[in-house]
Structures are given as structure tokens and as C-alpha cells.
Amino acid sequence: MIDTSFKKIPHVLPDLFLKGTVAVVGASGHLIDSKFGEFIDSHDQVIRFNRSPTEGYTDDVGSKTTLRVVNNHVFCNVDVSSDGYSNSPQYFVKNLRNTNILYIGPDYGPYHNRHTNTDSSNKVYLFDYATANKLKSLMGTTHTENLLIGSIMVGLLIKSGIKPNLFGFDTDPIPRTHYYQDRPKNCSAVHNGNAEQKMLKNLNENKIIRIYKK
């Protein structure tokens, strides 16, 4: 019997339930010197993405993680160091232990290979990627590019009835940065960052989410 105070996250298998306050921690460079760490860790749930680390950055991003959301490249332990990404250990996911992981990607193959891609002590969940356009509609955006996994997670929380607190998400049309690594100057245009920044700004202004900035 599931405690009714838990919220079921839709479009995810097996069933994923979250309870209490939720901090969603992005990777924006503006987290540096933000001193948000203690506040982030005070939340019941702390969601992080891909290979974003806490060690060495705890004052700004905290140390607590209750769910890690990853894309296909990270879940497959792809080496991206030669592409211009620094501080991105190839086997980050494979070396995780006793962690809840939500895999988000259009290819379900990596999920089916989860016992190879990561340790058996981790519990791995799968997002039904076919429902991504429903989340676009829910969040008020119509751009055709794939949503970033951060935006997908925000949409899932909204749909479940949770108002998340966001840290490390930019809402202005500026180049993407990561607090922990250098990014290549020319990234593939798989996503529409400007449209998603505008979308998050609108959600914040309408008090559907709350975005914290230093």
C-alpha cells in the first residue's frame, strides 16, 4: 500500500514515487559562489543530472542526491573528453552504487542493458520517451527539438502535482555553461536552449515552479 502523501511520477517504469519538498539541481555556471548547498540539502528530494558532481562543490550545490537523471550517452558510459568536455569521467554511472537512476532517452536499448551499464545495487527507472510531446504541451512550448532531460524532469514533477525548486537553471538567452566543466564551443543543435529558457521563465513567473538565483 503506497502512502498517499507520496506523488507518483507519470510516464516512468517501474513506478517512481516522491515525497516532500523537491530540489532540482541543474548545472549552470551561475551556481559557483551561490552558497545554495545547505538549502539544497534541506529538501526531502534532491535531483541531479548526468555526471554533475557534488564533491568539491558542496557549498554551492550540496551533497545530497536522491535521484540522478541521465541521458543515453552518460548511461552508456560514453567517453566525451575528446569532444571538449572536461571533468566528465567516462564510467561515472557504472561506478555509482545504491543510487536511484532515471534513464531518459529515445533509445530504450541502454535501459535494457542496464545491468551492464551500471551496478546492480542501483535501481534504474525508464521514462516513456513517446510521451515527451505531452510534457511540451503541459509546459507551454511548441518547439520541435527534443527537450533537455532537465526540462523533461521538471515537466514530470509538474504533472505529478509537485512544485519544484530549481537551482542552476538559466532563464535568459545566454550560452549554456556548467559549474564543473568546460563545454565545447560548438554543440549539436539537438535541443532548443533559448526556447526552453523562455519556457522555464514563464513557468516561474506563473508560480508553477520556483527558480532560485544567487
8-54: per-residue pLDDT in tens?
Answer: 999 999 999 999 999 999 999 999 999 999 999 999 999 999 999 99
Helix, strand, coil % over all residues of the chain, rounded to 5: 30, 20, 55
Share of the chain above pLDDT 90, in %: 83
Domain spans of the chain, in order of start? 7-212
Using one digit for the tens of pLDDT, what is the confidence trace for 123-145?
999 999 999 999 999 999 988 89
Please give the class, per CATH, of domain 7-212. Answer: alpha beta
Residue 171 predicted with pLDDT over 50? yes
User: Which candidate, 97, 96, 101, 210, places its Cα nearest to that of 157?
Assistant: 210
Mapped onto helix, strand or coil, the DSSP state of residue 4 is coil
pTM, two decimals, is: 0.94
The residue type of 44 is D
Alpha-carbon distances of 122 from 8, 175, 204, rounded to whole Å? 20, 33, 33
